[in-house]
Amino acid sequence: MAFEFATASQWRSILFLTLTCLVLFLTGFFTIPPIDRDEVRFAQATKQMVESGDFVDIRFQDDVRYKKPVGIYWMQAAALKTISALGVPRAQVRIWVYRLPSLIGAIGAVLLTYWTALAFVTRQGAVLAALMMASCVLLGVEARLAKTDAMLLLTVTAAMGAMARVYLSWQRGEDPARPSWGPPAIFWTALAVGILLKGPLILMFVGLAMAGLAILDRSAAWFWRMRPVWGLMWTLVLVLPWFVLIFLRAGDAFFADSVGGDMLSKLGAQESHGAPPGLYLLLFWITFWPGAPLAGMAAPAIWRARREPGAQFLLAWLVPSWIVFEAVLTKLPHYVLPLYPAIAILTVGALERRVLSRSWLIRGAAWWFAIPAFGAVLVIVGAIKAIHQPVFPAWPLFAVAMVFGLIAWWMFEDSRAERSLLNAVIAAALMAGATYGVVLPRLTTVFPSQEVARALRNVTCVGPKAAAAGFHEPSLVFMTDTSTLLTDGSGAADFLGQGSCRFALVEQRSERAFVQRAEAIGLRYNAPVRIDGYNISQGKAVSIAIFRSEGTE
């Protein structure tokens, strides 16, 4: 069997997982335009860092951006400078450059899931757990977005994998006289990088797991094997310099915005993302597909084994943080992503023991076919609505994905569940290829900023400057220029009259104010080029007119 050959050794397993990740994550990675709003805010702030040479402060145009620490910006800046040094033209406005840390983070998280799983299951089982992570819908999304979450997943998985090795060695009663420095070094380094990426969130995952284990074992003596004194000092060495520098630069503004304005505000319904408890459990069946059906079948066996050391550790990683996320009002799907490796390993543990549920839960195998079937219909209908085209090139991929999903469902049996999972992973790869590689790049109306930027690149004058009225999405600033003025219709007319090679990007709802002001100041302008599209951030159609000045009367 090909799978057995690919997992016959450690290096083969790592190579197999890496190649699988590239197949799953690279489709659409280079061709999907910038997606508003979070991705582009990160990318634009990084672009300004490189433009200004200031790698301490974080800004979007003239506004400070202190919601997250500096870690992801440094990683994206390193990617930008590397790609620019390789001679790639206009690297600063190619969004895929800023996505590279997320791609690396996603692949690294899959490999670290494999490494972590080796402490609990066989090598083939560890590969299966890693495949669940690589193919899951949620990680596929985050691998293609220039944000913090794929990298945060890497750091949490590294920290928990290191902690698992120390905890399980203590449970086995191994001699602590000369404990290894390896796991503690990985743990404290991952903790520091996680803090620089997303503040204290990684401390919640680790801290709640430790507290849960301490309560269940009535002891936390194993933690001294983590060399906490040296480890804490090492973490502070890595973390404190930037925090000191930003405090000297901005005072307590960063801490007020990141802790008070961002993290604590999530206790309420921040930015209309409020939802009741239970939402993450509901979304899990989609976001963790194709591993979700097996996880459902494994749940009874996992509960029965909850006091075994391995299952106890993984449940301590999973359950307390999941409860916190369900309790907090602000909910976004990616918040629970760092808990998915624990679910994958628990599921494989039950699969290896052949104790998957034989009850009504086995009907969940139909979900391997249902997601490709419903997903294909949803994506095709969405494309027809957005661009009035049926995107025929994607149909064969969707069809074959449904075939593999159907095979996974029909051939499922407790003794050979691995075969079904592998077929479902192939279905996931085909779905990703169709959705990210074929459909999304064709949805030009959903990315109006790209069309505006393309129109400005085709002008005949040198160094065009722009002002935008009514359409202020971050992607417009990123795709045009950092100096793009975000104003109203009247301000756009004033801007147009201040010099040559200037353009006013006026959304239809602001055109009346623009025309009235232009008439008042005697501004002459060309008949506009018009770009129609859809603003996915606001959920409404937009029509952007590009005006160019001919001077004043």
Q: What tokens appear for 548 in the block?
A: 């160019």
449 CB burial (10 A radius; 0-12, 13-18, 19+): buried
The residue assigned the tokens 């991929």 is: 397
User: Six-digit token pair at 280?
Assistant: 């993450």
Domain finish residue from 401, 420, 443: 443
Q: Report the alpha-carbon distance of residue 313 to residue 308 in Å, rounded.
A: 9
* DSSP code at position 270: G
Q: Domain range for residue 511?
A: 447-552
- Is 337 found in the same domain as 371? no
Residues 170 and 287 grouped into a single domain: yes
Distance CA 227, CA 63 (A): 41
The number of C-alpha atoms within 13 Å of 80 and in the hemisphere containing its C-beta is 25
**Residues 176, 270: one domain?**
yes
Query: In Å, what is the CA distance from 368 to each residue of 83, 246, 265?
Result: 39, 48, 37
User: How much is the pLDDT for 267?
Assistant: 59
The answer to whether residues 336 and 432 belong to one domain is: no
Question: How far apart are alpha carbons 527 and 8 in whole angstroms?
Answer: 67
User: What pLDDT, on the 0 to 100 scale, is given for residue 553?
Assistant: 47
Of 443, 472, 501, the residue that ends a domain is: 443
| Per-residue model confidence (pLDDT) at position 179 | 67
Do 276 and 291 share a structural domain? yes
d(CA 535, CA 474): 12
Domain identity same for 263 and 141: yes
Same domain, 250 and 294: yes
Total number of domains in the chain: 3
Place of tokens 């406005």: 93
One digit per residue, the tens of pLDDT, for the chain of length 553 reads 789 999 999 999 999 999 999 999 999 999 999 999 999 999 999 999 999 999 999 999 999 998 899 999 999 999 999 999 999 999 999 999 999 999 999 999 999 999 999 999 999 999 999 999 999 999 999 999 999 999 999 999 999 999 999 999 999 888 766 768 899 999 999 999 999 999 999 999 999 999 999 999 999 999 999 999 999 999 999 999 999 999 999 888 887 777 656 665 555 555 556 688 999 999 999 999 999 999 999 999 999 999 999 999 999 999 999 999 999 988 999 999 999 999 999 999 999 999 998 888 889 999 999 999 999 999 999 999 988 899 999 999 999 999 999 999 998 986 789 999 999 999 999 999 999 999 999 999 999 999 999 999 888 888 889 999 999 999 999 999 999 999 999 999 999 999 888 999 999 999 999 999 999 999 988 888 999 999 988 889 999 999 998 755 4
Say what the pTM is: 0.95
- The per-residue pLDDT for 263 is 62
Return contacts of 317-322, CB within 8 angstroms, 24+ apart: 317/160, 317/205, 317/209, 317/342, 318/342, 318/343, 318/346, 319/212, 320/208, 320/209, 320/211, 320/212, 321/204, 321/205, 321/208, 321/209, 322/280
C-alpha 472/C-alpha 486 separation (Å) is 6
CA-to-CA distance for 151 and 157, rounded, in angstroms? 10
Residue found under tokens 């009850």: 359
The encoded tokens of residue 472 equal 């202020």
Separation of alpha carbons 499 and 489, rounded Å: 17
Look up residue 541 and give its amino acid. A
Last residue of a domain, one of 395, 411, 443: 443
Q: Are residues 386 and 265 in the same domain?
A: no
Residues 337 and 372 in one domain: no
pLDDT value, residue 260: 59
3-state secondary structure 74-90: HHHHHHHHHHHHCCCCC
Phi-psi region of 218 (alpha: psi -120 to 50; beta: other; left: phi over 0): left
The Cβ of residue 403 has, within 10 Å, a number of other Cβ atoms equal to 16
Virtual torsion, Cα 166, 169, 174, 175, nearest 10 deg = 0
220/264 same-domain check: yes
Q: Are residues 365 and 477 in the same domain?
A: no
Tell me which residue of 111, 134, 119, 125 sits closest to 351, measured CA to CA: 125
| Same-domain check for residues 340 and 372 | no
What is residue 180's three-state secondary structure? Answer: coil
